[in-house]
Structure 1
Amino acid sequence: MTTTKMAFLFPGQGAQAIGMGRQLAASHDVARHLFEEVNDALSEDLFALMQNGPEDVLRLTRNAQPALFAASMAAVRVLETEIGKPLTAVATYVAGHSLGEYAALAAAGSLGIADAAQLLRQRGDAMQAAVADGDGAMAAILGADEAQIDAILTEASAKGLVQIANDNAPGQIVISGMTDAVDAAIDIAKDAGIRRAIKLPVSAPFHCDLMAPAADTMQSALGSVSMFDSIVPVICNVSAAAETDADMLRANLITQICSRVRWRETLMLLGQSEITHFIELGTGKVLSGLVKRTLEDVSIANLDGTDDLDKVLSQF
């Protein structure tokens, strides 16, 4: 077993792309079988949508969430095949951004593949249905700290509910809430000289209290699924704390729907825990970029396709 302290990270919504998982499915039977398992769980050919689009359909929350999960778990299976041992034998911690927490749980032995895929389909539908089209929005505010954002949101809340949704990295915070309030926050931020404040092309205001109906749906859905204590600790979005207890992991997935993703704090905890190697498993390099913005003197690699294998395997 390696003595290197490693954390495995799993991306969230927005990383999806046409062709995701293609290289791994073509080169490794374990990846192809994983995609077939997700297809069977959903009773549809999600992998075909991932390969061929159309992009606007793949981008729908109900499709993007299980698709990103499938791509991450295919990368887990390929990595495990290449190193000849389960990920749980080499991981010190795992963590996933928003929906990525489901992949982290599956990789850590807490949640089954079919159950996770079905839960993410329900989660996507519930999150999309929670707020009427046009009533909610999200925006990224770059170059401000949490105290500045809090002051902006206090003023903008005169227009309606608006909250921090993602604290991603130093100077990179995403807000979520009612459209008028988010628009007001953007204007206030610009007037305050904040470097950049831009509305995001999302279909619903995720990770704020407007998602309460979706949290109710997921409480029921998660209550009917078997979850197990995780083999390695999972750093949960809602607490930025390590958990292994199945009941706590389940509760955190429910709370997560309306709560901010504490990703900056997650990375800080991993840094304080002397993690030296970070591997992002799944589509894109978003989380790898956030690690670079947050931590110094760490090794970062991502496994998206076969072109990445040599660099990833060199970390072991």
Structure 2
Amino acid sequence: MKTAFLFSGQGAQAIGMGKELCENFKAADDVFESASEALGFDVKKMIFDGDSETLMITENTQPAILTMSTAALRVVETLGIKPDVVAGLSLGEYTAHVAAGSLQFADAVPLVKKRGKYMQEEVPIGVGGMAAVIGLAPEQVYEVCAAASEKGVAEPANFNCPGQITVAGEKAAVEYACELAKEKGARRALMLPVSAPFHCSMLKGAGEKLAKELEKITFSPLQVPLITNVTGDYVKDETEIKDLLVRQVSSSVLFQASLERMLKDGVDTFVEIGPGKALSGFVKKITKEAAVYNVEDMASFEKLKAALA
């Protein structure tokens, strides 16, 4: 068995996420306590008892998902299962670094809070947008974006799995890209309820601000191979991590390529760790052969435990 751990990105957040794991595992509860200490406010209160609007603010969402995903990781580790490779979708790449031992959780939490703040502030609300395009090939999406660019920035943002690509940029250009995608035969092309145009050149300034924060952090050698969003390939060593995390803010997320690389290298078991099952869905779109699990609550944890037994 060759196992990959995959970590959730933004969009999977929900009030109450991680509560069951905290109530049943001290290791999970300790992660939430550590996050509260690092951020200077009660993270449990915000996630377990707060409101969706507060959790949806990007600078809250990012540390919240990182905390919940790391808590779930510590629970999975109680089973004695170790990954052969790790990866995360966008924000999830930070949890992957925590899992790989290259980044300390206490450093990661305030860092992603700032990442969320910089990403949100870079483009005023209402100026940028994102859309999901279903049923077109990558080259067709590139053509659509090139044509839509006459109305502003429009760029491919996430290559998630076959036939599922997101586009980001200026709202008018992204809306036009949706029209052009439908003309090209897309099954669906719809605007997404997000507050910023993630993973496109409009966020370059946010990456530059993040670079200054990353300078303050020391990354350790990777204990587990990690595949990065920017290249869809392995990080060679810790010296290139900072540059990749800066570029990731304004680069396309090559998640399909990352999964295909894992499959090529013999990964046959994928465990999605953190809120939601989006990444499990991407794996299933690429292969029917792999075993796919997720861990976000006690029921999903017990299912993985039973499978391993």
Q: Find out whether 1:285 has 2:277 as its counterpart.
A: yes
My pick for the range that moved more, 92-101 or 237-246, is: 237-246
The offset of 1:91, in angstroms, is: 1.2
Pairing 1:169-180 to 2, within 5 Å after superposition = 169-180=161-172
Paired position in structure 2 for 1:237: 229
Q: Which runs of 5+ in 1 are unaligned?
A: none
Q: Find out whether 1:79 has 2:71 as its counterpart.
A: no
Whole-Å separation in 2 of the counterparts to 1:185 and 1:248: 34
Whole-Å separation in 2 of the counterparts to 1:266 and 1:133: 31
The offset of 1:14, in angstroms, is: 0.3
Whole-Å separation in 1 of the counterparts to 2:9 and 2:131: 16
Whole-Å separation in 1 of the counterparts to 2:194 and 2:50: 18
Whole-Å separation in 2 of the counterparts to 1:222 and 1:138: 27
SS at match of 1:242: coil
Cα RMSD, aligned residues only: 1.0
Does the CA contact (< 8 Å) of 1:47 and 1:67 recur in 2? no
Label 1:33 to 1:244 Cα distance change in 2 as closer, same or farther (>3 A): farther
SS at match of 1:300: strand
Whole-Å separation in 2 of the counterparts to 1:53 and 1:266: 35
The offset of 1:46, in angstroms, is: 1.8
SS at match of 1:168: strand
Which of 199, 202, 220 is the aligned partner of 1:207?
199
Q: Which amino acid aligns with 1:60?
A: I
4+ residue runs of structure 1 moved beyond 3 angstroms?
Answer: none
Whole-Å separation in 1 of the counterparts to 2:308 and 2:153: 44
Pairing 1:1-316 to 2, within 5 Å after superposition = 4-83=1-80, 90-313=82-305, 314-315=307-308
Percent identity of the aligned residues?
39
Q: Which amino acid aligns with 2:67?
A: A
The offset of 1:219, in angstroms, is: 0.5
Does the CA contact (< 8 Å) of 1:109 and 1:231 recur in 2? yes
The offset of 1:244, in angstroms, is: 4.7
Q: Deviation string for 1:260-286 (max 9, x for gaps)? A: 100010111011011010001111111
TM-score (norm 2): 0.98
SS at match of 2:190: strand
Q: Which amino acid aligns with 1:243?
A: V
SS at match of 2:13: coil
Q: Which amino acid aligns with 1:44?
A: F
Whole-Å separation in 2 of the counterparts to 1:47 and 1:222: 26
TM-score (norm 1): 0.95
Q: Which amino acid aligns with 1:153?
A: C
Whole-Å separation in 2 of the counterparts to 1:254 and 1:104: 16
My pick for the range that moved more, 163-172 or 145-154, is: 145-154
SS at match of 1:257: helix
The offset of 1:53, in angstroms, is: 2.4
Q: Which amino acid aligns with 1:145?
A: A
SS at match of 1:220: helix
Q: Deviation string for 1:23-55 (max 9, x for gaps)? A: 100000111110010011000112211112210
